[in-house]
Each structure stands twice: as C-alpha cells, then as structure tokens.
Structure 1
Amino acid sequence: MEVPFISSGATSRAYYSLVRKVEYASSLQSANQHLSTAIETGRRQLADPAVSFNERRKCLILLLYCYTNASHGFLAADAFNFAFPHAITMAEGGRTMDHKRIGYLFCAEVMPSNHELQLMLVNTLRKDLEHDSVPRICLSLENVIASSNPDLVPAVQSRVQDLLSHNSPHVRRRALLASRSLARHQPEWLSRIGQQILKRIDDPHPSVACAALALSAQLPEEHAANAQLVVNDMLKALSSDPSSYEPWFFVRTLLAVFFLGITENNIPTILELIRGSSKYHDGATLRGAFLVLSKIAPRTLLSLMPVDFESPIQSLRPFLMSRDPNDVYLFLSCLECVDPVLWAGTSPDVPAVLDGWEVERMMQLLGSHDALVRRTTLRVLNRVDLGLVASYYSRTVESIPCGLSIEDVNGYAIRLLEILEARSGSDGELYARELKDLLVRLEQASPDVVLEKVVESVLFCFQNANMDFHIAFATTMLTFVVDSDSRLPQTITVIVAALATEQCGKVAISPLDLLQGLASRLSSSLPSVKDACLLAMLRIAADCDVPSPVIQAVTEHGQNSKRHIRRRCEHKKGAIIIPT
C-alpha cells in the first residue's frame, strides 16, 4: 500500500526514499546496492565539518536502517567505522535527549564490543550516570543494559550501586536491570549488592519489585536462603489479597519462587492459588503455580497437602473439554508439571484423578492438528505408560485409509513420526527400521508419491541428533539401498539419497555398494526421485572408481529419459555419464 511521506513517520525524505527503494527492489542484489549507495552518501555528509546535530541524527538513523537490512556478509566489518565518532559525539554532546538517544543506540547496535572507541563511550556513560537529570540517567542505564562489556564494569559499578536507592522508581528499576547485565562479566558483583536487591523486592513500585524478583534468582549462595524467605513471604502476602496486585506481578513472583524454591509452609498457598486461578480462568498464574509445584517431590506434596484438600489436577479438568486450543494446551502443560504418581493411578496409595473418558480424550489429542498439543500429550502419556502410546501407534498405522490425498497422508505421517521419534529415543537403528515399516504402510495408502514433509522431518531429526544416532541411523538406512532384493518406498529413496550424499565415507558401507544400490533403483523411481539419486551418485562417484555396469545402467537410463534427467547423466571428468 502506498503511504505518503507525511504519513509515513520517516525522519527525512532521504530515509523515506531509501525504504521505498529497498522494499520495492526487484532482487536482493538490487536492494543491497541501494543500501550501499546510501552508506556512501552518509559517509560524504558526515565528512562535512559543518554538519549539524540534526543532520547527524538523520544520517545515523539512515545508516542504522542500512545496517539492519543489509543481507548477511554483504557489508565489510569496518563499513560503519566512519560513523562511530559522530555517534559518540551525539551521545556526549547532543543538545536534546533525542540526539543522545540516537547516538547511544547507534553505538549499542553497530559498534563492536572490542572497538577502540568504546573507551570514549564509557567516559560518556559515566558522566551521564553522575548527572542530576532523571531522563539522562535512565538513558545511560539503558545503554549499560543493552551493551555492557568488561571494560565498563569498573567504571560504572559504584554509581549503579548508588542508583539502586535513587528516588525515582524509573532509575531504580533500570539500575537493577543494569546490575544483571554487569554481573555477566563480573558474577561476584551480585554478592556486593545482594542486600540491596532483597530490599528492592519490597519496593512500593511494582515495576521495581518485579526487576528485583527477576534478579533474585541469580543471587549467590550467601544470599539465596534469605531471598527464598523474602520471596515466599511476598507470595503469601499476594495470595492473601490478590485483587490488590496485577496478574503479571503474581506471575513474576511465582517464577522467582520456582527458581529459589518454595518453603513447606507455602505449599497450601500454592494449592489455594491453583484453585482460585482456575476458577477465574487466569491461565498465566495457573501455569506459574504448577511450575512451582513441579519442584516438589510427590511424597512431600502428599504429606503436606491438607486432608480435605482436593488434588490440584481437579482444577484442570474443565480445560480438557474446552473447544479453545489454548485451554487444552494449558491443561496439558500444567499436567506435565505433576508427577503421574499424583494423578494417573499408577500407585496403589493414590487413586486416579481423571476418568476413563478423560484419558481417552487425551489419547485423541495425539491426532490434533496442533503440533505443540500433540508433542505435549505425547510426553505426558509416555510418563504414565509407554504402552498407551505404543497401542495408539499400532492402531493408527493399521487403520490408515486408502485413497488419501498427499496432504492427508503427510498429516498422518508427521503425527506418527513424532510418536516414532519419542519411542526410539537415541536408538538410530530402531528409528530407521520403524521408519521404513511406516513408509511402506503409507505407500499402500497413497502409492508412488514423495512425502516431502516426511523427508524434511526425518532429516531435521537426524541433523539434531547425537553422533551415535547419526552413525546407527545412516548405516541402517544406507543398508536398505544396498539390499537389491527389497523394494523401497519413494520417500525412503529420497532420504537415502540425501544421507548418501552427506554420509558417504563416514559409515561402514563402501561407496561402490552405494553406487550400485542407487543405480538399481533408477528404473523404479519417479522422475523427481531419479533426480535425487543421480545427484547422490555424482557425489559418491568422486570417492571410488565407477564400475562399467553402473555407467552402462545410467547411460541406458539417460537415453530413455527426458532432457532434464539426460543432462544429469552427462560425463564430465570421470563422473557418471552419457556420452554426448
């Protein structure tokens, strides 16, 4: 949609023009060229000794746009070095807060942390921290939060510590967040300010207390015990009068309790909080309370739960039957926090909380269209009984209807692959064999198709697995293609071709066997699968002498194929070929 300059919010017509050129560029190269031209224009403008602060501001904003929108690797590492002195000048001598903000922002986003001009920026920050103006102090603290470095810590830590007791809540809050940023470079810094952080937890301003709660989870051991007591006391006070506080503050307090630990006398408070938050449909508080509950051992929870108090799972039951996917996920994510001993009836001492029809409803969620719901359900049920998921998997595989569309088959496959991945764990060989059996069954439902989503999912799983899984899975899959007596589904052949390209020479299967196995699959493969096999064979041919039967098979296949496949079979420097 065309937006005129006056309504665009652009800081200058040059900026407006550049954005339009980049957004409407016909290619990535064209967009990069516009950005490069703008950087050179900015270089010339800033080189003028008479350039004003306003012109500097406009130029730095334009250069910041170039920095954030240039494609990776297009700009040299020192492409913006010419602008750093001007940004520091803006941060130090800017006539308005807006001038200083742009200077600080440019340095934080663009200047490397080890740049030689960082020392000048440190001096500017220290001066602004010592200033009496609250906006100026806040601006400098925000820069400390965004771009702290080891050289900055000794220069500003004393002043930041003093600002923890400043009259302005805006300064106190930012001083706490700046302390967290400085502690990344000097962890012992938190030991010095531990008592001040604990005092700020009781700060009358909620935003300051919230920042202190976030920082309390990182306190060292000498302060952790006191922090635990303070945070638990705050939780009890909040629970006694919940209407006086915002829900987000409740959630932050619960997260602090989660990290620091809950005291035993506060367990009834958590249980009451669960019952109240479920009644008022406060999902964030409910989820936070169950996270705290996950830190309590089952037997401890049972022993400390009041005799007449119902199981916390009872409060979740209405969410299971909701038509809102968010409610269903809330039910599952909270249930996952509780040991199955407390609700699944796996222990003779504790009866099951959910009825049979509710468990069946959970089983149905394994077929949900929401991937997050499926995966969470899978984790919950696996903790209860591995047989539940195995039974569902077997029933689903046996009942896949025939004549489905490719989209429906992909949907079935992805849901079953998630279960298969969970069942196999780190056993790559088991995953490979189960995958083959599953795809054979899926091909019966929809023959002669390549399930692209399955290929993507399997290769993604392989990429993110450990090395033992890599070796076992790749070896087993490549063995399938070497076995000339077995017919492979088209999808398996594509996966094998991808693995052969990457894993050739890394597994105990010779390149020659892989070449012969892939060559034997060409005649029965779809054109797209043939293409993948030929590309893999070209890669494998570099690691061995290509036998004449393979060359003959590829030659004959190329002669009987259309132009694209024939071109794949051309002979260049010893690769698999068809003579031209």
Structure 2
Amino acid sequence: AKYIAQCIEEIKQELRQDNINVKCNAVAKLTYIQMLGYDISWAGFNIIEVMSSSKFTCKRVGYLAASQCFHPDSELLMLTTNMIRKDLNSQNQYDAGVALSGLSCFISADLSRDLANDIMTLMSSTKPYLRMKAVLMMYKVFLRYPEALRPAFPKLKEKLEDPDPGVQSAAVNVICELARKNPKNYLSLAPIFFKLMTTSTNNWMLIKIIKLFGSLTAIEPALGKRLTQPLIDIISRL
C-alpha cells in the first residue's frame, strides 16, 4: 500500500505537467492501478483531457481509462458530450471507433439522447468497421434512451441486409436482444430473418435467428410449418 501511495504521488506530479505525452503515460499507469482495485475517480478531469488529445495514441489511453473509471452516473460526463461528438464525426475512422468502444462502457441517458443522431449517422458510414460498431452501440442507446428506437429502426432493419457480414451479424444480435422483451414488435421482420436463415453460413448468427423464431412462433404458430424444412437442412449441414 505504501508503494502504491508513492506511485500515485508520482503520477499526480506527472499529471501537472504541460506535456500531453507525460499526462497520457500517467493516465495509462492509473488504468493499471485501477485494475488492482484502487479508486482513480479523482483523476477524472485529467482523463477527459487525455481523451480530447488530437493524437490517437493518447486518445485511446484516455478512452480506456474512462471506460474503467466513469459510469452512467458520473457527474463529469456532462463535460464530454461535445468532445465525444467531435470524435464520432472525425474523418479518422479509428477516432470514431475508439469513441464508440469507450462510450459503450459509460453511456448515460443524457449522452444517449444527445448523441443518438450522431451514432445513427455512423450506421450509414461507408466503412463497415464503423457501421458494425454503431449498430452495436445503438443497443446501449436504446437501453438508456428508448425514444431513440423508433427513428433508428428503419436503419437497423436495413443493416440486416448489409453487404458486410459483420454488420449484418451485429444487426441480428441487436434485434434478437430487443425481441427478447417484446417479440411481437419484430414479427414483421420474419421474412428477412427467414431469408437469412436459409442463406447464411454463420453458425452463431443462425443460433440467434433460430432462438428468435422460437419466440415468434409462439405469437404466429403458422411460422412453425415453414421453418421445419429449413431447420432440417441446417442440421444436416452440421
């Protein structure tokens, strides 16, 4: 404990430096100390400063520390809205990607409301890397801010037929999770899921789709007859 206390004092000295690289290194040390069970919430302002760096190597460290230190009730999150929006709209896909990854760990209802449109825009990005992350991130947004589901649903439905298999799989995962609470709302998507089930070779995605159909057949029993042969075909391929 004495050694850790000494290290923290040294880190505090480094955080007072003007050099962003020194601060970044100090925040990286704090992430390790946090993993040992020590509280680092006192460094919240410093973490935000490193998150806002224009250097990706520093930004990545900042978002990592934020994902470990911040939580949806953190008061400092109100200071991050514009900074995160700037990263989400960055021309560098990795800036936007690291922002989405970090945000998923501490997104609050206010951040969900304020950033929902920016994340929805990324669902139509030309880069599959960002489309996939944005689709998955929207699930966290829906949990914190359910009002975002209605305007986002058409884009989410589009992603079920995305040319990239990673994006397609992400959309299936999100809709399957949403359908666990209210499968009736997703009955209209049965034709798309039926097409995916009969054409996809992604076993993990097929498992999700079959589970979803298990919920949908309880609402629409007629689906059961149509599913029999495709299920036999899938089992015979395994």
- The TM-score, its normalising length taken from structure 1, stands at 0.37
Equivalent of 1:45, from 14, 21, 28? 14
2:25 corresponds to 1:65: no
Shift of 1:82: 3.9
Equivalent of 1:251, from 207, 210, 225? 207
Shift of 1:129: 1.4
Find the aligned partners of 1:142 and 1:61 in 2 and give their Cα distance.
Answer: 17
Equivalent of 2:117, from 131, 134, 158? 158
How has the CA–CA distance of structure 1 residues 194 and 138 changed in structure 2, closer, same or farther, with 3 Å as cutoff?
same
Find the aligned partners of 1:115 and 1:59 in 2 and give their Cα distance.
Answer: 21
Structure-to-structure mapping, 1:242-321, within 5 angstroms: 245-261=201-217, 263-264=223-224, 265-277=226-238
2:88 corresponds to 1:88: no
Find the aligned partners of 2:136 and 2:104 in 1 and give their Cα distance.
Answer: 6
For residues 101-159 of structure 1, the C-alpha deviation after alignment (integer angstroms, 9 at most, x for no partner) is 11111112112432332111122111111222211111211122222111101210111
How has the CA–CA distance of structure 1 residues 237 and 246 changed in structure 2, closer, same or farther, with 3 Å as cutoff?
closer
2:135 corresponds to 1:176: yes
SS where residue 95 of structure 1 aligns? coil
Name the one with the larger helix percent.
2
Q: In the alignment, is the contact (CA less than 8 A) between 1:90 and 1:102 conserved in 2?
A: yes
Find the aligned partners of 2:84 and 2:215 in 1 and give their Cα distance.
Answer: 33
| Paired residue total | 230
2:186: which partner in 1?
A: 224
Q: In the alignment, is the contact (CA less than 8 A) between 1:104 and 1:143 conserved in 2?
A: yes
Structure 2, unpaired ranges of 5+: none
Shift of 1:248: 3.6
Find the aligned partners of 2:105 and 2:124 in 1 and give their Cα distance.
Answer: 21
Q: In the alignment, is the contact (CA less than 8 A) between 1:214 and 1:256 conserved in 2?
A: no
For residues 311-350 of structure 1, the C-alpha deviation after alignment (integer angstroms, 9 at most, x for no partner) is xxxxxxxxxxxxxxxxxxxxxxxxxxxxxxxxxxxxxxxx
Find the aligned partners of 2:197 and 2:41 in 1 and give their Cα distance.
Answer: 50
How has the CA–CA distance of structure 1 residues 114 and 137 changed in structure 2, closer, same or farther, with 3 Å as cutoff?
same
SS where residue 188 of structure 1 aligns? helix
1:102: which partner in 2?
A: 61
Instruction: Give the residue type in structure 2 aligned to 1:57.
Output: C
How has the CA–CA distance of structure 1 residues 100 and 198 changed in structure 2, closer, same or farther, with 3 Å as cutoff?
same
Q: In the alignment, is the contact (CA less than 8 A) between 2:89 and 2:96 conserved in 1?
A: yes
Q: In the alignment, is the contact (CA less than 8 A) between 2:51 and 2:58 conserved in 1?
A: yes
Equivalent of 1:233, from 195, 206, 211? 195
2:101: which partner in 1?
A: 142
Find the aligned partners of 1:68 and 1:257 in 2 and give their Cα distance.
Answer: 41
How has the CA–CA distance of structure 1 residues 209 and 112 changed in structure 2, closer, same or farther, with 3 Å as cutoff?
closer
Find the aligned partners of 2:153 and 2:15 in 1 and give their Cα distance.
Answer: 46
For residues 194-213 of structure 1, the C-alpha deviation after alignment (integer angstroms, 9 at most, x for no partner) is 22212111111111000100
Task: Identify the structure with bigger relative contact order (alpha carbons < 8 Å, sequence gap 6+).
Answer: 2
How has the CA–CA distance of structure 1 residues 206 and 260 changed in structure 2, closer, same or farther, with 3 Å as cutoff?
farther
Shift of 1:225: 1.2
Structure 1, unpaired ranges of 5+: 1-31, 239-244, 278-580
Q: In the alignment, is the contact (CA less than 8 A) between 1:161 and 1:193 conserved in 2?
A: yes
Structure of higher CA gyration radius: 1
2:166 corresponds to 1:197: no
SS where residue 202 of structure 1 aligns? coil
Find the aligned partners of 1:81 and 1:36 in 2 and give their Cα distance.
Answer: 15
1:35: which partner in 2?
A: 4
Q: In the alignment, is the contact (CA less than 8 A) between 1:122 and 1:152 conserved in 2?
A: yes
How has the CA–CA distance of structure 1 residues 112 and 175 changed in structure 2, closer, same or farther, with 3 Å as cutoff?
closer
How has the CA–CA distance of structure 1 residues 57 and 167 changed in structure 2, closer, same or farther, with 3 Å as cutoff?
same
Structure-to-structure mapping, 1:349-364, within 5 angstroms: none
Shift of 1:260: 4.3
Shift of 1:252: 4.1
Instruction: Give the residue type in structure 2 aligned to 1:275.
Output: S
How has the CA–CA distance of structure 1 residues 221 and 247 changed in structure 2, closer, same or farther, with 3 Å as cutoff?
closer
How has the CA–CA distance of structure 1 residues 221 and 254 changed in structure 2, closer, same or farther, with 3 Å as cutoff?
closer
Find the aligned partners of 2:20 and 2:34 in 1 and give their Cα distance.
Answer: 21
2:72: which partner in 1?
A: 113
